[in-house]
Amino acid sequence: MKAGVVIFPGSNCDYDIISALKIFDFDIKILWHKDKNLKNCDIIFLPGGFSYGDYLRGGAIARFSPIMEEIINFANKGKPVIGICNGFQILCEANLLPGTLLVNNNSRFICKNVYIKVINNNTLITKKIHENMILKIPIAHSQGKYFVDSSTLSEMYKNEQVIFKYCDNFGNITENSNPNGSIDNIAGICNKEKNVFGMMPHPERAVFDFLFNTDGKLIFESIIFYLK
């Protein structure tokens, strides 16, 4: 399976994803933001970081990189695209996912482990995870507050597009367990067609034993299971 990892100026989690994908024996293709060829990849990852310095908004400039036209066409053909953190922001800016990511409620950069609950386990990234399972996954962002208007949010629930919600270590979804102020504690979503995914937590940073957290492996194992 060929996995493309897109690198924008300012990406800094690209090699985190590459290192994680190597564990699962993906054939990894590095895709530069100016490329116009996706190298016959089966799945595309947009990594975290600060593409173009997060000027204007996170992902607002990267959305116009030449490679994004190819990624939009790729997604519109039903092929899988996954955006993590800044990658999530880019996918929202490109209108491949609904909503937007705003500045955290505390106006600060937040870097810590959080807990997320699996709301929908019938997707490419959750197929090997039990519904309502609690995962410990790190976050690292200053613009991670997911927002969408109420009518779109209703449609998202109707279409089962909400995948992860922030919770505490017991699975309680509360205001205190919401690190950034995201609407309804939302941490990860997909499009209506369920082939484009975005999440603010970093599963690629939770796959190695030496980090004392391997919950992120379940997400990559789900991807492999689905693609096979």
For residue 61, what are its two tokens?
Answer: 């400039």
Q: Which residues contact 83 (CB under 8 A, 6 or more apart)?
A: 45, 46, 89, 90, 91, 97, 196, 197, 198, 199
- Residue 107: what pLDDT? 95
What's the pLDDT band for 171 if we cut at 50, 70, 90? very high
What the chain holds in terms of domains, given with CATH numbers, is 2-227 (3.40.50.880)
From first CA to last CA, the distance across the chain in angstroms is: 9
Supply the pTM of this predicted model: 0.96
pLDDT in tens, 121-155: 999 999 999 999 999 999 999 999 999 999 999 99
Q: pLDDT at residue 56 above 80?
A: no
Q: Which residues are catalytic?
A: 85, 202, 204
CA dist., res. 73 & res. 51, Å (int)? 21
Hey, which residues does 44 pair with through a beta bridge? 4, 81
For residues 148-166, average pLDDT: 98
Q: pLDDT at residue 57 above 90?
A: no
Interstrand relation of 162-167 and 186-190 (parallel, antiparallel or unpaired)? antiparallel
- Residue 22: what pLDDT? 96
Q: pLDDT at residue 8 above 90?
A: yes
Question: 114 — phi, psi (to 5°)?
Answer: -130, 170
For residues 188-208, average pLDDT: 98
